[in-house]
Structure formats: C-alpha cells, structure tokens
Amino acid sequence: MKKIYRQGEVSVTALDGVDLSIVKGDFMALAGPSGSGKTTLLNMIGGLDSPDGGSILLNGQALEKMKPSQLADMRLHQVGFVFQSYNLIPVLSAVENVEFVMLLQGMPLQERRRKALAILDDVGLAGKYGRRPAELSGGQQQRVAVARAIVGAPAIVLADEPTANLDSASGKDLLKLMQEMNESKKVTFIFSTHDKMVMEYARRLTLIRDGRIVEDRRK
C-alpha cells in the first residue's frame, strides 16, 4: 500500500509498498523513528485515512472502497483508538466518555452504564467515574482512553504512541494494562512507538523506516 502526502511543492511518500498481515490477538508494536510512517499506517488501518494505492482488508472488508459514513460505522464497531493525548471529550466525565461509544452503537442506558462502570473498574479507575478529564492525571486519562477503546468490543485497538506523554512509571502501568486487556479479552492491539521500553512489552515487533517495513518478528 502506498500513501503520498503533498506539502506544497514537496511530495512525501509516507508509505511505500507496505505489505502487512495482522492476526487476531496480536499484541504488536509498530516501531520506527519519527517520520517513518507509523502514524500514517495506523490511520490507514483504522480507516482514518485512505491509501493512494493498494488495499486494506479488515475482516474481509476493503476499507479503501468505503464511503465516509461506512468508514465511520466500521470504526464504531470494529476499531478502537488511543491517541497520544487529547483522547477524551472535555465536557464529559470518565464514565460518560466510555459510555459515548456505546451510545453511538445504540445500546440502551442501563446496559451502557453497567458496562462502562465495569470496564472502568477493570482499568483501575474505580471510584473516579464522575471525574472530568481535567480532574484526572495524564496516566488516568490514558486509562480511560483504553477503557473507551475496548468497551465497544472492537476487533482491533490502535494506539498511537500512547505512553509518549506519560512519565515512565505511568507508562509502564498503561502498557501492563493493555497487555492484560489483550490477554483477558482477546483484543488485538497495535501500538506505535519509538521508545525501546515500550517495544519490550510487545509480542510481535514490526520495524518501519522511511515508509517501508524493514523487520517483522515475533517473540
């Protein structure tokens, strides 16, 4: 798959002939220096961006052929995202942020609330349900983000440098949490990073450089 960005006169090939297969249950780190194309690749998989060439198949469906509304639907049910920062909707509390996805999916109030509270407990935020993002630490915010990402039972969770804004202790906690979720709930995780410590946690490591995959190994 190819992706070319144009910035003024300069065209940058973000991804040049990437060929990748992801297996259900993978806990994969997509590693590379900044500018290597990992964010772009993640955006492609999640249907946030579309390729200039090639195709992306998620559970058998070709993403590059979908309309924006179809992609939105796909993201709603199949994909969860965790970003580096600014993950949460500021006017909603922790539990409301988590509920939001289920609301979009059409789940009734009682069920939503039950599941949201449960998953917040799972990520270790029991008792902080009503806090707004501004009232939570960076690490806590990311936890809520993870909770929200997986509560909708997606096929795959994409995390773009999730620990980059956290101190090392919180970062480790977050990774452990993601690992736990991957194992207990069988959710596929792909996280991008350039941090060696983060790479340690992965069971599959894919190295990307200058838009190309240079290494792909399982531990």
Partner 1 sequence: MNFIMAWRNIWRHPRRSILTIAAIVFATMLLVFMLSWQFGAYDTMIDATVKIHTGHIQIQAQGYQDQRDMRKVVPDPNEIERILTSLRGVKSYTFRAEDFSLVSSENRTYGVLVIGIDPQKEPSVSTLEDMIRRGRFLEAGDRRSALAGEILADNLNSPVGGDLVLLGQGRDGSIAATVLTIKGIFNTGQDEFDRTMIHIPLEYFQELYNMRGAVHMAVVLCDSLTAVPAVKERIAGALSGIDSSLAVLDWKELNPGLVQAIQMDLVSGFIFYLILIIVVAFSIMNTFLMAVFERTREFGVMMSMGMGPGRLMGLLLMESLGITLIGVVIGTIAGAAVTWYFQIHGMVIPGAEEVARQFGLPERMFPQLSFLSIAVGAGIVLILTVLSALYPAFKVKGLKPVEALSAV
- In the complex with partner 1, the residue whose CB is nearer, 79 or 177, is 79
> What is the nearest approach in angstroms of partner 1 to the Cβ of residue 132?
10
Q: Which is nearer to partner 1, 24 or 77 (CB)?
A: 77
| Distance, CA of 53 to CA of 145 (rounded, Å) | 32
Closest CB to partner 1 among residues 81, 201: 81
Shortest spacing between CB 80 and partner 1, in angstroms: 8
**Minimum distance from residue 27 beta carbon to partner 1 (Å):** 21
β strands within the chain, DSSP E: 2-7, 10-16, 27-31, 57-58, 61-62, 79-82, 156-160, 188-193, 204-209, 212-218
Residues that bind partner 1 (CB under 8 A): 43, 46, 48-49, 68-69, 72-77, 79, 81, 83, 86-92, 96, 99-101, 103-105, 148, 152
CB 31 within 8 A of CB 44: no
Give the residue among 205, 204, 195, 199 at the shortest CA–CA distance from 164: 195
When the beta carbons of 6 and 196 are compared against partner 1, the nearer one is: 6
**Distance (Å, rounded) from C-alpha 161 to C-alpha 34?**
11
